[in-house]
Structure 1
Amino acid sequence: MEDIGSIKRRTLLKGMAAATAVSVMGCAGQVATGSRPRVVVVGGGWGGLGAVRALAASGQVDITLIEPNDGFMSCPLSILYIAGFAPASDFQRSYGVVDALGVRRVKDRVLDIDRAGRTVQTATQSIPYDFLVLSTGLEYMEEALPGYAAARDQFPVGFRAFEQSAVQRQAATFLEQGGNFVITVPKPPYRCPPAPYERACLIAQRMKEKGTKGKIILVDANKHPMPPPLAKPMLAAMKEMYGAQIEYISEVDPKSIDAGRKVLATSKGDIPFTHANIILPMRAPGLIRKAGLGERFAAIELPTFQSKKDKNVFVVGDAQGTPLPKSGHIAFGAGQQVGEQILATIAGKYKEAGLGDEVTLPAAICWGKVSTSLAIMINVNASVAVGDPPKIKYQVDPAANAASSKGAMDWGRNMWNAMLG
């Protein structure tokens, strides 16, 4: 796995520590002479923490992190909690390290952004910025499935931090009662493409262990498991390990859900169920649209992650609208890059890539766990020639294996330590 923070990045940050904190912002505006640049980071997840750690290393900027939760919970690897193999605490961390870095942490939600006045408005205060980093995560498109909004508590999505407990309860009830457990998979883009298949596999493992009667019906809007390079090893694992527990149906579009009758209407007919994990299509939160930064997702420039609408605003993680996979690892790397880029701009050292220049983008390793002891590694590398769409390359294990399962857990601990260790 690529080390978190390259030598090049460390060298840049050391240079920033010796540079003046007051200078021209280049293409991103100016900071008044005599002031410390103010950077506001919205969202204390993977992308936001990547930005905070890079910015705080310089000691040159005033950083405000706005995050409504008291602590951090990892979505990656939390399937082990959802399926009942690990406690939730294994995937939770305190923000104590962030506080110790001198970051001002505001436990609140951002309601509006005044881009002209360079302020963000929370429920309780207005916070000024010179640079704004948005790592807002996502929201669910409930209107995409008629009948869902009225019954959301019965059919949790569980793709945002601290929502996993609702899906865990649903899975635990199914494992005790048996029946038909429907899991839906939307078309991309959605957070962590392997996650729905992981859920099916790990819950199926528990079914085998507990002797649960019934099956998991995996209703996939796609032709095969996502991302496409994962399809062959994931399908093989589901067939070989869970042929009696998982019924996989591809190219099926959910049309509506009837909570009372417990029926999912689809393009291939009605599917009755006893329990359901409805994974809806996703988009950036309404804040992005309200601020005029994009529609379904924020419109940004690569390789900078700057908003196409405002050069003082950067968007990383799931809210950005490029073809990059919506992965925690990529979000963290993008946050780091943006933090370093802001520091370089402050110091007058940032140089924009020229049109056609090939630039490496944040890389990632993702994992598709198919059991507690087996996983499929997905290595993602990306680059972009300025002005062109990004080029994305996948390297995937040919089959689930024990080494990748151990690697997934080692990776998780390393990433959590990089963010909050």
Structure 2
Amino acid sequence: MSDRRGFLRNSGLAAAAGAAGVMLGGSGCATAAGPAVATGRMAALPKARGPRLVVVGGGTSGLTIAKYAKKEFPQFDVVLVEKRDMYSSCFTSNLWYAGLVTLENLANHSFLDAAVNNKYVYFNATVTGLDRAGKTLVTSEGDIKYDYLVIAPGISYDYGKIGVNDIDTQTTLRQVYPGGFVSTTEHVTLHRKIREFEGGVFVQTVPSGNYRCLPAPYERACLIASLIKHNKIKGKVVILDANPEVTIKAEGFHAAFDQLYKGILEYHPNAAVKGVDPAKRTIETDFDSVQFADAAIYPNVRGSTLIEQLGLLAPATKSNQFEANIDTRFYNIVGDTSVYVTGDSRPHPYSKSANTSNTEAHYVARVLAARAQGKEISWTTPETICYSVVNAFPMEAISVKAHYVYDAGKDAITGFSPDTQVFNNRDAAKGKATLEWAKGLYRDMFNA
């Protein structure tokens, strides 16, 4: 299968890059105990009624672990620490741009409801430090003692890897040409830009490495092209892909490019961004200078900067994307079975996507429940089910269902499992299934 070969090719490139990469802060290895920064001012939380599990980050991974760790081991006293006061998702955000879902679909979900429904505590605070020796998480609202800690903070952007090191330019790109894969405000800005697009070239960049939601930039490009076609706008979408080929579901995406959007969408492989001049609206690659009317500039991604701030980075030989130094099978920080990192800040070559994080989190919840009882469980592969809508009028999608292989001898994830299936034929049934898939994820995170 071509997509399986692509996984292995891209994973090999990432490993090679990691071996040659340079990490911030010397070797990038986690400190033995983390910065000793506990303040002694305790957070306003009820006294723990069992082993306290603190989960940092209310995204797909964090919400799933908070719910299912409690279900697996009801004695856990679970606290979800999240700096946002309202949940919003990246998955299905592309559908909102095309008018296929509403903003309410993405953002009308309450952390409070999730906590009440699933018998844990939602604590609205920002993490500022970690004292691993004292098993204390430091937040803007006081210190929290833990028995187990899960950090699931998502990703951060790495503009330096697209040749943008100047802070002023980075700031302009974040505000005027956002990537659209971190915050809700990026989605709102991109929605406005796409819906108000009047013509010319709209550029969608695709980064190298393991970025959040491999098919999403191609899906977004298709849906923008679908709007251009439907509204008879004199414009086109140009995909500048740093990779030599569409990273997943290539056959299905190329069919959409060629059959639905000929003359409206241009795909350029091996077109890594080497610099951006937002004033002149130009993007530089190795081979060309591309002028644009508007753009969604998706830089490379890295583990959340929180991972670095808390002293949990993997060595450069393990991750070239500033991800966490965790055990491959069980997700705990190497040498510390009380602290775990999950979701998009882990160094596994899994897709950094919602369904992957959700199923991975189910497994980590079982790991935590077992260890709280002095037991161990066997490694279980996460599952990646991903729908990509390639046509808005009518709504048609392609999809993939993937599992992964763990090689004990190499202590590494080495590729897709043989049962992986890619469904490259677009149709309305998969378009409808996309919406049901998203509803299922929301139910799994928020409902009892």
Give identity over the alignment, percent.
31
Aligned residues: 378
Quote the Cα distance in structure 2 between the aligned partners of 1:250 and 1:364. Answer: 25
> Is 1:66 aligned to residue 81 of structure 2?
yes
Structure 2 equivalent of residue 420 of structure 1: 446
Alignment of 1:158-307 (within 5 A): 158-162=180-184, 163-174=186-197, 177-227=198-248, 230-295=249-314, 296-307=322-333
**Which secondary structure state, in structure 1, belongs to the residue aligned with residue 403 of structure 2?**
strand
TM-score under structure 2 length normalisation: 0.81
Equivalent residue number for residue 375 of structure 1: 397
Equivalent residue, structure 2, for 1:89: 104
- Per-residue deviation at 1:385? 3.8
Cα separation, 2, equivalents of 1:80 and 1:398 = 19
Q: Specify the alignment match of 1:411 in structure 2.
A: 437
Deviation string 1:172-199 (CA, Å, 9 cap, x unpaired) is 221xx21111110001210000000010
- Matched-pair contact (CA < 8 Å) for 1:369–1:375: yes
- Gap change, CA 1:290 and 1:310, over 3 Å in 2: farther
Counterpart of 2:175 in structure 1 is 153
Q: Offset at 1:316?
A: 1.2
Match for 1:361: what amino acid?
A: T
**Alignment equivalent of 1:392, drawn from 394, 413, 416:** 416
Contact 1:263 1:273 in 2 (8 A): yes
Q: Does 1:142 align with 2:164?
A: no
Instruction: Write the deviation string for residues 88-145 of structure 1: whole angstroms up to 9, x where unpaired.
Output: 1012212213234332211122122211111111122111111111111000012233
Kept in 1: contact 2:360–2:383 (CA 8 A):
no
In structure 2, the residue matched to 1:351 is: 376
TM-score by length of 1: 0.86
The whole-number CA distance in structure 2 between the counterparts of 1:164 and 1:79 is 9
Structure 1 match to 2:149: 132
**Native 8 Å contact 1:39 1:129 kept in 2:** yes
Residue 66 (structure 2) pairs with residue 52 (structure 1): yes
Q: Which amino acid aligns with 1:126?
A: D
8 Å Cα contact 1:84-1:168 kept in structure 2: no
Shift of 1:62: 1.1
Alpha carbons 1:360, 1:382 under 8 Å: kept: no
Q: Does the CA-based 8 Å contact 1:360-1:383 persist in structure 2?
A: no
Correspondence list, 1:307-322, <5 A:
307-322=333-348
Alpha-carbon spacing, 1:114–1:198, altered in 2? closer, same or farther (3 Å): same
Structure 1 residue 341 corresponds to structure 2 residue 367? yes
Q: CA deviation at 1:368?
A: 1.6
**2:327 is matched by which residue type in structure 1?**
E
> How far off its partner does 1:245 sit?
1.1
- The letter of the residue matching 1:347 is Q
- Whether contact under 8 Å (1:53, 1:336) holds in the other structure is no
Task: Please point out which of 51, 71, 89 is paired with 1:37.
Answer: 51
Cα distance in structure 2, aligned partners of 1:384 and 1:130: 29
Contact residue 324 and residue 392 of structure 1 kept, 8 A: no
Structure 2 CA distance, aligned partners of 1:351 and 1:40?
20
Give per-residue Cα distances to partners, 1:26-74, cap 9 Å, x unaligned. Answer: xxxxxxxx96101110111110011011122243111110112222222
Cα distance in 1 for partners of 2:286, 2:407 equals 40
Deviation for aligned residue 1:281: 0.3
Letter in 1 for 2:435: M
| CA root-mean-square deviation | 1.7
Aligned partners of 2:367 and 2:376 also within 8 Å: no
**Separation in 2 of the partners of 1:315 and 1:383?**
20
Distance in 1 separating the partners of 2:54 and 2:214: 29
**Stretches of structure 2 lacking an aligned partner (at least 5 in a row):** 1-47, 315-321
Post-superposition shift, 1:170?
Answer: 1.7
Which residue number corresponds to residue 94 of structure 2?
A: 79
Equivalent residue letter for 1:201: C
SS for the counterpart of 1:132 is strand
